[in-house]
Chains A and B, each alone.
Chain A
Amino acid sequence: MKDANPEFEAECIRRILGGEKDLFHELIRPCERGIYFLLLSLLKNETEAEDAAQETVIKVYLNLKNFRGDSQFRTWVLSIARNEGLGRLRRQTNRREDSLEAETDDQNGDFTPAILTSWREIPTEALEKKELAAILRAGIESLPEIYRNIIFLRDIEEMDIRETAAALGISEGAVKVRLHRARAMLQRRLAPQLKGFAPKRKGWFGGRA
């Protein structure tokens, strides 16, 4: 999670409710990425996710007086985003309603890692190559939904276990189980493809020729 600041949020909310409406821009800004990527992971469509993100933000504004402060602001916002996303999925006629939460933790899957005998670290500088980012995105997008959601919130938005559990409406234990499986599946799918992105010799730039 990036830069949660409860004091700033509480002060902001108090002043917005007191009439300084423009402060809402600053209040919501740190939550934008989280809202969008949670919705993208649910809806799997960029246009739909953006539309749902806008609806979510307007709902947050209109319901601001109902925020109790007993959870983090961001957690509350993400639960509104999740409800917006689930509501849209239910309205999609080609999707059976009972399939929404049907994927469960006891589904069979192979969570055995890819067996390697050595690993040379791929530095984040390697992400300058668009191809690497594309492989990582494809790996995450290919995960079953319940595992993809966890990776988005925990590893991409870097929320803690408790906040992830609250945003998804599941227990902290379930978050840990799914996170373990999701990471194992990602390692299994991605490690063999990523090997070639490790620096050939010392130094990533310049020293490779």
Chain B
Amino acid sequence: MRIDCKHVWQYISAYIDGDVDAALRADIDKHLETCEICSAVLDSTRNVVILVADDRVFELPAGFSERLHSRIDRELESAESP
């Protein structure tokens, strides 16, 4: 089936997650072969998804873990077993 650009955009997120069925994937792949706009939209979206997943984008505040675990220690000392 021939599908248009807007149709492809609807499924870009699902396509990236591998959450489209084989027939739809084939239709999208076919469209991507000849549509440089949709290819660029897909590639840029996937690129953004990969970049934001990197631990360097959102880091825990300095000392977060140490403060959390000393709080846990205080609780373990004072409280009875759960």
Asked if residues B81 and A54 are in contact (CB atoms below 8 Å), the reply is no
Complex Cα distance, B76 from A180, in Å, reads 43
Chain B, Cβ-Cβ closest to A28: B72
Q: Which residues of A contact B17 (CB under 8 A)?
A: 161
Which of B17, B50, B71, B81 is most buried by chain A, counting CB atoms within 10 A of its CB?
A: B81
The stretch that binds B, out of A76-84, A117-125, A200-208, is A117-125
Total interface residues on B, CB under 8 Å, equals 41
Picked from A16, A54, A156, the residue with its CB within 8 Å of the CB of B53 is A156
Asked if residues B40 and A118 are in contact (CB atoms below 8 Å), the reply is yes
Identify which of residues 96-148 in chain A touch chain B, using a CB-to-CB cut-off of 8 Å.
112-119, 121-122, 124, 127-128, 132-133, 136-137, 140
How many Å from the CB of A103 to the closest CB on chain B? Answer: 19
A95 part of interface (Cβ distance < 8 Å): no
Interface size class of A (residues with CB under 8 A): 35 or more
Q: Which residues of A contact B45 (CB under 8 A)?
A: 113, 183-184, 186-187, 191
A64 part of interface (Cβ distance < 8 Å): yes
Q: Which residues of B contact A94 (CB under 8 A)?
A: none
Given A116-B37, A117-B37, check contact A61 B49 (CB 8 Å): no
List, sorted by A's number, 16 A–B pairs whose CB atoms are closer than 8 Å. Answer: A19-B81, A21-B76, A24-B76, A61-B72, A61-B76, A113-B41, A119-B39, A122-B51, A124-B51, A136-B51, A140-B52, A151-B52, A156-B53, A183-B12, A190-B48, A191-B48
